């Protein structure tokens, strides 16, 4: 793949690449900056997802007897050094950066989501590189995404990126664990995430981070849903992006999903589901093959309590997630009309009748 033909690239950097003995690898970071300069010179917008703030903070506060509050304090100290290091390293190549602390709240309502999109667009238009990290200084464990591979995928969805690069401590996806098997083979191109591919990923983690190949494959599926290609490659080497340009020692995951507009991306990205709707085979086929709206007659079960305008999950009869959408009725009314046709529903709902339980414009399919 010639990544220089892309318009917008997300690059995820893990702690294992950025840090050594709790210190930032400045020389490596400067070489990364020189690589990104090449991308900018080819008019490619770049957004970076970085981790490492908590680990850096351990130099200043003893991490023994770790608590949630201490972790947040470690992050607040480390974040300052992390941002400063990016600023100094990138400034050597006349690259401007911006800091964005990601909270996940960007997905909870459409206005926040669109505001974030506007920010990304202005930064990219003005050749400024957003450095994004999850805001560990304020988030609690129950609302954290907690894994930067998935955060990168969320940002790729939100920003309508063409390519997401997950820099790892391994060359890509192998057919078996290369650290255990000398005959392991690197898979260069993947067109579909099959159960076999997922089994190859395993569940490896590093001593620095929470993400292994399994979480990377989960992030790939999220990016695929937004029509974004993904590369997993070795980031431990110097000039990791230049290496992708000059060699084929990486795994490329090619998405076949169509690009979707900002509203559909917001629906697809949402993390705040208030209910779950199960639909029959006929309704599932209409949604997937025909791009139809979801009508009450095709619904077999509704779980959860929600209001009109809330986000819900849509599952098929096998409990497989096939779509997400914005519901047209509250849960009480929705339950009273499932399985019924329009003429029957009109007798139940006398005012503000809407034929669709979820209109096709308010529905996003899962790839």
pLDDT in tens, 314-340: 999 999 999 999 899 999 999 999 999
Given a cut of 60, whether residue 194 has pLDDT beyond it is yes
User: With bands split at pLDDT 50, 70 and 90, how would you rate the model's confidence at 19?
Assistant: very high
Cα within 13 Å of Cα(363), Cβ side: 25
Higher pLDDT, 177 or 107: 177
Question: What's the whole-number mean pLDDT along residues 37-61?
Answer: 93
* Per-residue tokens: 158: 């939100």
Q: Indicate if 203 and 332 belong to the same structural domain.
A: no
349 is a domain residue: yes
pLDDT of residue 289: 92
Given a cut of 90, whether residue 95 has pLDDT beyond it is yes
Cα within 13 Å of Cα(98), Cβ side: 16
Q: Indicate if 16 and 126 belong to the same structural domain.
A: yes
Contact in structure between 293 and 325 (CB atoms under 8 Å): no
Question: What's the whole-number mean pLDDT along residues 1-12?
Answer: 94
pLDDT of residue 208: 34
Query: What is the domain-level CATH number for residue 354?
Result: 2.30.130.10
Q: In percent, how much of the chain has pLDDT > 90? A: 55
Q: In percent, how much of the chain has pLDDT > 70? A: 91
Strand (E) positions, the chain?
A: 8-13, 19-20, 23-24, 45-50, 96-102, 128-134, 163-168, 189-190, 229-234, 251-253, 273-279, 299-303, 311-315, 321-326, 363-365
Q: Which of 361, 158, 131 is nearest to 270 (CA)?
A: 158
DSSP state of 292: P
User: With bands split at pLDDT 50, 70 and 90, how would you rate the model's confidence at 144?
Assistant: very low
pLDDT of residue 71: 87
Q: Would you give the distance in Å from CA 364 to the centre of its chain? A: 16
Q: Indicate if 228 and 309 belong to the same structural domain.
A: no
In the three-class reduction of DSSP (H, G, I as helix; E, B as strand; rest coil), residue 298 is classed as helix
268 is a domain residue: no
Given a cut of 70, whether residue 154 has pLDDT beyond it is yes
Which stretch of 53-67, 91-105, 205-219 has the lowest confidence by average pLDDT? 205-219
72 is a domain residue: yes
Q: Indicate if 219 and 100 belong to the same structural domain.
A: yes
Instruction: Report how far residue 322's alpha carbon sits from residue 284's, in angstroms, rounded to the nearest whole number.
Output: 8
DSSP state of 109: S
Q: Indicate if 230 and 304 belong to the same structural domain.
A: no
In the three-class reduction of DSSP (H, G, I as helix; E, B as strand; rest coil), residue 183 is classed as coil
Q: Give tens-digit pLDDT for 266-314.
A: 777 666 789 999 999 999 999 999 999 999 999 999 999 999 888 899 9
Q: Indicate if 316 and 217 belong to the same structural domain.
A: no
**Helical segments of 162-271, H only:** 195-201, 213-224, 240-246, 262-269
Q: Indicate if 72 and 25 belong to the same structural domain.
A: yes
Contact in structure between 205 and 170 (CB atoms under 8 Å): no
pLDDT of residue 158: 86
Q: For residue 231, what are the β-bridge partners?
A: 165, 252
Report yes or no on whether pTM surpasses 0.85: no
Q: Average pLDDT, whole number, for the chain?
A: 87
φ/ψ of 130, rounded to 5, equals -75, 125
Instruction: Report how far residue 342's alpha carbon sits from residue 94's, in angstroms, rounded to the nearest whole number.
Output: 62
Domain that includes residue 359, residue range: 273-365
Query: Which residue carries 């095709």 as its tokens?
Result: 298
Question: What's the whole-number mean pLDDT along residues 56-60?
Answer: 91
Point out the domain boundary residue: 233, 263, 293: 263
Which helix (H) or strand (E) is 75 found in, with range?
helix 68-91
Q: Indicate if 231 and 252 belong to the same structural domain.
A: yes
In the three-class reduction of DSSP (H, G, I as helix; E, B as strand; rest coil), residue 366 is classed as coil
b/e per residue 218-232 (b: at least 16 CB within 10 A)? bbbbbbbbbbbbbbb
Higher pLDDT, 294 or 351: 294
Higher pLDDT, 309 or 81: 81
Q: Indicate if 284 and 330 belong to the same structural domain.
A: yes
Point out the domain boundary residue: 230, 263, 296: 263
The domain total for the chain is 2
Q: Indicate if 257 and 329 belong to the same structural domain.
A: no
Contact in structure between 9 and 165 (CB atoms under 8 Å): yes
pLDDT of residue 205: 41
Q: Indicate if 225 and 188 belong to the same structural domain.
A: yes
Point out the domain boundary residue: 263, 290, 309: 263
Q: Indicate if 146 and 186 belong to the same structural domain.
A: yes
Query: What is the domain-level CATH number for residue 38?
Result: 3.40.1160.10
Given a cut of 80, whether residue 260 has pLDDT beyond it is no
């Amino acid at each position: 793949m010639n990544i220089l033909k892309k318009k917008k690239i997300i690059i995820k950097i893990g702690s294992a690449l950025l840090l050594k003995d709790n210190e930032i690898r400045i020389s490596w970071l400067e070489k990364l900056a020189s690589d990104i300069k090449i991308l900018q010179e080819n008019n490619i917008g770049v957004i970076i997802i970085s981790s490492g703030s908590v680990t850096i903070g351990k130099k200043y506060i003893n991490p023994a007897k770790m608590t949630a509050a201490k972790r947040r304090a470690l992050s607040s100290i480390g974040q300052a050094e992390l941002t400063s290091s990016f600023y100094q390293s990138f400034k050597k190549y006349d690259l401007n950066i911006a800091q964005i602390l990601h909270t996940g709240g960007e997905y909870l309502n459409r206005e926040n989501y669109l505001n974030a999109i506007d920010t990304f667009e202005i930064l990219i238009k003005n050749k400024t590189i957003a450095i994004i990290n999850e805001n560990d200084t304020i988030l609690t464990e129950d609302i954290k995404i907690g894994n930067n591979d998935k955060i990168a995928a969320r940002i790729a969805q939100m920003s309508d990126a063409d390519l997401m690069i997950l820099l790892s401590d391994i060359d890509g996806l192998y057919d078996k664990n290369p650290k255990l098997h000398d005959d392991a083979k690197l898979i260069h191109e993947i067109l579909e995430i099959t159960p076999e591919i997922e089994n190859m990923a395993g569940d490896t983690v590093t001593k620095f981070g929470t993400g292994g190949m399994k979480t990377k494959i989960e992030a790939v599926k999220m990016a695929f849903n937004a029509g974004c290609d993904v590369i997993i490659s070795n980031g431990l080497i110097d000039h990791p992006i230049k290496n992708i340009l000059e060699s084929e020692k990486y795994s490329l995951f090619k998405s076949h999903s169509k690009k979707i507009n900002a509203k559909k991306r917001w629906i697809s990205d949402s993390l705040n589901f208030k209910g779950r709707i199960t639909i029959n085979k006929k309704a599932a086929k209409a949604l997937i093959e025909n791009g139809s709206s979801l009508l009450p007659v095709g619904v077999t079960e509704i779980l959860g309590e929600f209001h009109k305008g809330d986000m819900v999950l849509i599952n098929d009869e096998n409990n497989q997630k096939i779509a997400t959408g914005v519901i047209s009725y509250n849960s009480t009314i929705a339950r009273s009309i499932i399985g019924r046709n329009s003429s029957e529903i009109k007798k139940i709902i006398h005012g503000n009748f809407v034929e669709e339980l979820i209109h096709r414009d308010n529905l996003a399919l899962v790839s």
